[in-house]
Amino acid sequence: MTTAAPPLIRQRAETSAARASQVWKVYGTGEAQVVALRGVDVELERGRFTAIMGPSGSGKSTLMHCLAGLDSVSRGQVFVGDTEVTGLNDAGLTRLRREKIGFIFQQFNLLPTLTAQENILLPLAIAGRKPDQQWFQTVIDTVGLGDRLGHRPNQLSGGQQQRVACARALVSRPEVVFADEPTGNLDSRSGAEVLGFLRRSVTEYGQTIVMVTHDAVAASYADRVIFLADGQIVAELTGPTPERVLDTLKSLDRTAQPGTEL
Amino acid sequence: MIKASLRGLLQRKLRLSLAVFAIVLSVAFLAGSLVLSDTLNARFTALFSTINQNVSVVVQAKDPQAVEPARLTDAQLRALSEVDGVRAVSPDVSAQGVIPFRATDGEPVSADAALGFGVDGNDDPLGLVELREGRWPTAEGEVAITAHTAELAKVKRGEQLKVYLPVLNEPRTFTVVGVAGYSGGRDSLAGEVVVMFQQSFAQQTFYGATGLYGGASFAAEEGVSDDALKQRIAAQLPDGFKALTGQESSEEQSAQVGVLFDVFKYILIGFAVVAGVVGIFLIFNTFNIIVAQRTRELALLRALGAGWGQVAGSVLLEALVVSLVGATVGLAAGIGVAAAGEAAITSEVALPSAGLVVAPLTVILAYLLGVVVTLVAAFVPAVRASSVPPVAAMRDVVRPDKSLTALSIVGAVFALPGVGLVLFGAFADLGGTAFLVLLGGAVLVFIGALLLSPLLARPIVRGLGALVGRGSAGNLGVRNAARNPRRTAVTAAAIIIGVTVIGMTATVVQSFKTSLTDIMGDNIGVEVMIQASVTAAPDGRQGFNPKALEQVRAIPGVKEAAAWHFDALGVSVAGQPQAFGIFATDVGQAARMFPIDATDGTIRTLAAQELVLDDNIAETLKLKAGDRTPVVIGGVTRDYTVVGVYRATPLIQGILVGEPAVADFPGPLAFQGFVSLNDGVDAAPVVTQIETIMKDYPGVQVGDRQSYVDQATASYDFLLIAVQILLLVALVIALLGILNTLVLSIVERTRELGLVRAVGLSRGGLVWMVTVESVLITVFGVFLGLALGVGLGAAFTKALMTLEFATVIAIPWLELAQYLLAAVVAGVLAAVIPARMAARLNVLDAISYE
């Protein structure tokens, strides 16, 4: 697939960790048809922390699922690194997840039968790869779980569980980590710990992170915020603060009022 | 409330259909067994009604099995035929075991249902038997045969026919002068073989004198009822006879024959019991799962004001409906099983058709079994459902896994005394009571083990998992199997039950076979065995004439040939009935062929009224060398002297008398023969020559040492096969149970499955994960079952060794490996559907699954 790609795309692919090109996502047919994404073009730069925001039904989660290969697109192309995701079969997607993608979900991130350490190393174990001990130690130190590695998820607090999930996403050094409302279920202090950790992994280790959130404070940890409304990218901020994010959301709400389908 | 539970029922029909299947299986075996036995009885009743169609009254000996049954004389028969109201008389001169030899190859045509009759040269006055061609026999060397017999023996009118005569104990050759059939153009009534002789010859041959009859059938004149004629004839009956109406006679005969088919009945009932017991676990698990899944719904009902009794009742109502559906389908399936069984049996034995008989009792028992099994199984889940608090409707009420401690203590309370009893039974020298002690202990151990199995599940599954759970997918499967030990244990219970029974049986059978082979191989100087048909009456009336051994002794290379007579009917020694009978042989010769060690007195050739016996029996009867004791053989009591006592071995045990005692035996035929050869003589050609000599004695088998071992163990192999089929039934149900549990696990763990897929597990990995879980559950069951089964089997064998029935405990490794393999295959099969379900899950849907 990559060998067949035109030089222009290849060149651009090298600079972006993930990229969507004219992506449409349509659910259902006829009367019941719902358009979740309308020709979205977006590039997520390597080594940056990008937040995707938007009101409910704006398509922000759909966009992330499509970028991560969890959902198929109706039209358009998606790349992770230099791999075209669109068109991959299940085996290809499995390989992509093993090699290039890390996930952090809002909840239920960990297998209850495994200890924290086993959960962190699960992607490597599944892929049959040996962990890089030094990197593993770095990740553990960063998330501050050193004394909790032998615990099972039900012996950990919600914040600790999410930190384990973060460590798991990072330990295989994926091309990009997708985080779906990672602090949605946490109190503000635990949420801040997790976000601080994600921020540091970008700043200190150059990890690429894409995070969907509806929380302006969470978005302010990112380098760049993309705003979606009605399936389209409608605004963008770099170097966000909570206030600027909130202002942008408010202005979106106003413009979205009349004639919005969703 | 009722409506709500019935509606819920339909939504869960897939899961419930597994429970229904368990009931269907159990009920089908029970109903099949009952319908088959009723149907065969009806067929036999129809058969004997045909035979007795023109018969008003039958006169027969009260005890036809007696050594000297009562006979009617000419004068007595004449007196009975002059009774007022008698229209016609058909006297009975008959014997069983009159076996023709095939003209083409000289082989006997049948070992059973072969009858001989004496006929007086006139047509059958009752019109049942009709001459088709030729004439009735009128001279000693003539016979008439039925068309069916002619076909089997491949002989035609005018040709020679060799026939074995039971009382003469040898074959004679006759000329076939007539071929007969039955009224209605039938060649046979039920596939029987019939040879008809001149009457006086038959009387002389069968009864030892002319002018004697075994009984007679009478037809009444018009206007005289069967009962009335029976009364009149009964008033004039000689001693030792009874009179029955034709109807009564038919019923009595069909009941006697029906007993022969009881073995099928009991095997099927055994299947029904196993399927029922194993099914209880499957149904229990199913309802537990349903209750767990319905927690919110049940809580809502409780919140809306339903009492706990109503909630429990709704679960039991659901169970009742399930059981009624299962029992109905099972009844239908059982009738199908019976039809197949009947077809199989009647393809061997031609019987008049009477249609399938479905008795009301069969229907009642079928429903009773289905309902009882289901309600027993659903009781605990129903109670559990009733304890769901209303608040569970609002939020997830975490109901932590109950600790296994209480359950395990109860298990230990059963298991420890059980183990004690088993060890006591195995090692203490308790004689026959050892088996009762062992059985009690085995039941306790078994119950204890089932209760302890949740405690054992985790360590055993992990231990086994270390062998198979390589790779992360396998490792996850191992963890899932060990995750809920109660569920794993209940799921495996069906397998534990089935495998324990088979493991125990296989161990005992293997030990017995190995013991016998060891003894046969090491100690005896016998190379060729001659053996009467295993089904022969063990009283000297079937077997071979010991005179034939003179021909055997003449074969070059034969060193010695010994005849053993056996009588197990009505033998008693020192006032004690001897169920294992008595043997008569040249004991001195036996001591040269077999290892017989005297522990008291001497072991030598015995004269009349002398006996030797083994040490176990001597102890029971409190006899020692030199004692005199009364012995009853063939109804004759004589005082015998105990010449010696020998040590019992698995090969030789029991009471032995000398050849002179054979005169008292009901029949003069030998039951077994043993032949020793000179050094270096090949047994195979000798076997062939002895077979030729023994060809005249239908049912007698000749074989070398190994064939004797095979024959001695054949009935145990049959037992083993029956138990293996039982295992198969248990495995099928267990497979459904595992399927059930895995589907539940997959539904419960949907988000986990999504998660592992999201972090890179392939579809194949997921399939492997589910398969490992399934295989571990089955292998856990087999492992525990085999450990229990082999342990108990070894204990039973130890007790058998004390009684000299066995010499070693042999573990049937090959069979055990096969059962393990079967379990692995079953585990893989059970995982197919759940694994496909898991693999088809969409990753995104699975992660966001509530």
Q: What is the model's pLDDT at position B536?
A: 60
Instruction: Tell the CATH topology of A46-72+88-256.
Output: Rossmann fold (3.40.50)
Which residue on chain A is closest to B752 by alpha carbon? A111
Q: What is the model's pLDDT at position B593?
A: 85
Q: What is the tens place of the pLDDT at every residue in B643-675?
A: 999 988 777 888 999 999 888 887 788 888 999
- CB pair distance less than 8 Å for A113 and B472: no
Tell me if B570 sits within 8 A of B635, measured CB to CB: yes
pLDDT(B303) > 80 = no
Q: What is the tens place of the pLDDT at every residue in B762-780?
A: 888 889 999 999 999 999 9
Q: What is the tens place of the pLDDT at every residue in B483-522?
A: 888 888 888 888 888 888 889 888 988 888 888 777 776 6
B428 φ, ψ (degrees, to nearest 5): -75, 145
pLDDT(A2) > 60 = no
Sheet holding B241-245, edge to edge: B86-92, B215-220, B57-61, B241-245
Q: Which two tokens stand for residue B820?
A: 């393990």
DSSP SS3 for A17: strand
Higher pLDDT pick, B384 / A5 = B384
Task: Give the pairing of strands B701-704 and B528-531.
Answer: antiparallel
Report the amino acid identity of residue B355: G
Tell me if A215 sits within 8 A of A187, measured CB to CB: no
Average pLDDT over residues B62-91: 85
Q: What is the model's pLDDT at position B174?
A: 94
**Most B CBs within 10 Å: which of A61, A66, A70, A101, as the mutation test of the B interface?**
A70
CA distance B83 to B98: 33
Q: Which two tokens stand for residue A121?
A: 């190393």
pLDDT(B78) > 50 = yes
Cβ-based neighbour number of residue B630 at 10 Å: 12
DSSP SS3 for B563: strand
- Helix residue ranges per DSSP H, B484-561: 485-523, 548-553
CA B669 to the chain's CA centroid: 28
Residue in A71, A95, A103 nearest the CB of B758: A103
- CB pair distance less than 8 Å for A126 and B765: yes
Q: Band the pLDDT of B10: cuts 50, 70, 90.
A: low
Residue in A71, A90, A97 nearest the CB of B760: A97
Average pLDDT over residues B461-486: 82
CA B203 to the chain's CA centroid: 39
Instruction: Please name which of B672, B525, B683, B673 lies closest in space to residue B594, comparing C-alpha atoms.
Output: B525
Q: Is the ipTM of this complex over 0.90?
A: no
Q: Which two tokens stand for residue B354?
A: 């009477």
Average pLDDT over residues A69-96: 87
Average pLDDT over residues B802-816: 82
CB-based burial label for A165 (10 Å; 0-12, 13-18, 19+): buried
Instruction: Please name which of A19, A51, A61, A46 lies closest in space to residue A227, comparing C-alpha atoms.
Output: A51
Kindly report the nearest CA distance between residue A243 and chain B, in angstroms.
31
Q: What is the model's pLDDT at position A6?
A: 42
Tell me if B67 sits within 8 A of B634, measured CB to CB: yes
B447-465 exposure pattern, b = at least 16 Cβ within 10 A, e = fewer: bbbbbbbbbbbbebbeebb
Cβ contacts of residue B85 below 8 Å, gap of 6+?
A: B220, B221, B224, B228, B229, B232
Q: What share of chain B is helix, strand, coil (3-state, %, to 5)?
A: 55, 15, 25
pLDDT(B523) > 70 = no
Cβ-based neighbour number of residue A189 at 10 Å: 8
- CB pair distance less than 8 Å for B756 and A122: yes
In the numeric block, the tokens 């602090």 are attached to: A183
> Residues of chain B with pLDDT > 90: what percent?
16
Which residue on chain B is closest to A115 by alpha carbon? B479
Q: Which two tokens stand for residue B275?
A: 């399927």
Task: Give the pairing of strands B212-213 and B72-73.
Answer: antiparallel
Ranges of each domain in chain B: 55-257, 456-522+714-850, 533-699
DSSP SS3 for A244: helix
Residue A91: its chain B contacts at CB < 8 A? 762-763
* Through-space distance between the first and last CA atoms of chain A, rounded to whole angstroms: 36
Which residue on chain A is closest to B751 by alpha carbon? A108
Residue B469: its chain A contacts at CB < 8 A? none
- CB pair distance less than 8 Å for A126 and B480: no
In the numeric block, the tokens 């975490």 are attached to: B398
CB-based burial label for B101 (10 Å; 0-12, 13-18, 19+): buried
CA distance A240 to B815: 73
pLDDT(A13) > 60 = no
- CB pair distance less than 8 Å for B844 and A113: no
CA distance B55 to A155: 89
Q: Which two tokens stand for residue B193?
A: 């073989």
Q: What is the tens place of the pLDDT at every residue in B370-419?
A: 999 899 888 988 888 888 777 766 555 555 566 788 888 888 999 899 99
CB-based burial label for A14 (10 Å; 0-12, 13-18, 19+): exposed
Which residues on adjacent β-strands are paired with residue A21?
A77
Cβ contacts of residue B170 below 8 Å, gap of 6+?
A: B164, B545, B696
What is the reported pTM? 0.71
> Residues of chain A with pLDDT > 70: what percent?
91
CA distance B566 to B331: 46
Q: What is the model's pLDDT at position B195?
A: 92
- CB pair distance less than 8 Å for B847 and A71: no
A25 φ, ψ (degrees, to nearest 5): -135, 120
Residue in A94, A109, A113 nearest the CB of B479: A113
Kindly report the nearest CA distance between residue A106 and chain B, in angstroms.
10
Average pLDDT over residues B161-167: 86
CA distance B532 to B699: 6
Which residue on chain A is closest to B759 by alpha carbon? A123
Tell me if B784 sits within 8 A of B496, measured CB to CB: yes
Chain A residues touching chain B at CB-CB below 8 Å: 65, 70-71, 90-91, 94-95, 97-99, 102-103, 105, 108-114, 122-123, 125-128, 168
Average pLDDT over residues A17-29: 88
Average pLDDT over residues A3-23: 61
Cβ-based neighbour number of residue B505 at 10 Å: 24
Residue in A70, A102, A127 nearest the CB of B843: A70
Kindly report the nearest CA distance between residue B405 and chain A, in angstroms.
21
Q: What is the model's pLDDT at position B349?
A: 61
Residue B757: its chain A contacts at CB < 8 A? 94, 97
Cβ contacts of residue B7 below 8 Å, gap of 6+?
A: none
pLDDT(B307) > 80 = no
Report the amino acid identity of residue A79: F
CA A161 to the chain's CA centroid: 18
Task: Give the pairing of strands B86-92 and B215-220.
Answer: antiparallel
Kindly report the nearest CA distance between residue A127 and chain B, in angstroms.
7
Residue B765: its chain A contacts at CB < 8 A? 126
Q: What is the model's pLDDT at position A7?
A: 40
Q: Band the pLDDT of A262: cuts 50, 70, 90.
A: very low
CA distance A41 to A140: 36
- CB pair distance less than 8 Å for B472 and A126: yes
Q: Band the pLDDT of B352: cuts 50, 70, 90.
A: low
Residue A108: its chain B contacts at CB < 8 A? 751-752, 755, 847
Chain B residues touching chain A at CB-CB below 8 Å: 471-473, 475-476, 479-480, 483, 751-752, 755-763, 765, 843-844, 847
CA distance B27 to B329: 8
- CB pair distance less than 8 Å for A111 and B765: no
Measured over the CA atoms of residue B435, residue B437, residue B438 and residue B442, the dihedral's sign is positive
CA distance A169 to A177: 6
Instruction: Please name which of B249, B142, B149, B216 lies closest in space to residue B189, comparing C-alpha atoms.
Output: B149
Q: What is the model's pLDDT at position B164?
A: 86
Cβ contacts of residue A103 below 8 Å, gap of 6+?
A: A68, A97, A169, A177, A178, A179, A180, B758, B759
CA dihedral angle for residue B681, residue B682, residue B683, residue B688, rounded to 10 degrees = -110
pLDDT(B309) > 70 = yes
Q: Which two tokens stand for residue B673?
A: 């023969």
What angle, rounded to 10 degrees, do the helices at B485-523 and B262-293 form? 150
Average pLDDT over residues B803-813: 81
Q: What is residue B55's DSSP assignment?
A: -
Q: What is the model's pLDDT at position A259?
A: 41
- CB pair distance less than 8 Å for B762 and A91: yes
CA distance B556 to B685: 10
CA distance B549 to B694: 9
B460 φ, ψ (degrees, to nearest 5): -70, -45
Tell me if B62 sits within 8 A of B240, measured CB to CB: yes
CA distance A209 to B791: 61
CA distance B580 to B590: 19
CA distance B382 to B400: 19
Q: What is the tens place of the pLDDT at every residue in B182-232?
A: 887 788 877 788 999 999 999 988 888 888 998 899 998 888 888 899 999
Average pLDDT over residues A12-23: 76
Q: Band the pLDDT of A176: cuts 50, 70, 90.
A: very high
CA distance B44 to B255: 8
Tell me if B81 sits within 8 A of B229, measured CB to CB: no
Residue in B479, B763, B844 nearest the CB of A90: B763
How many A-B residue pairs are in contact by the CB < 8 A criterion? Answer: 63
Which residue on chain A is closest to B749 by alpha carbon? A111
CA distance A187 to A130: 35
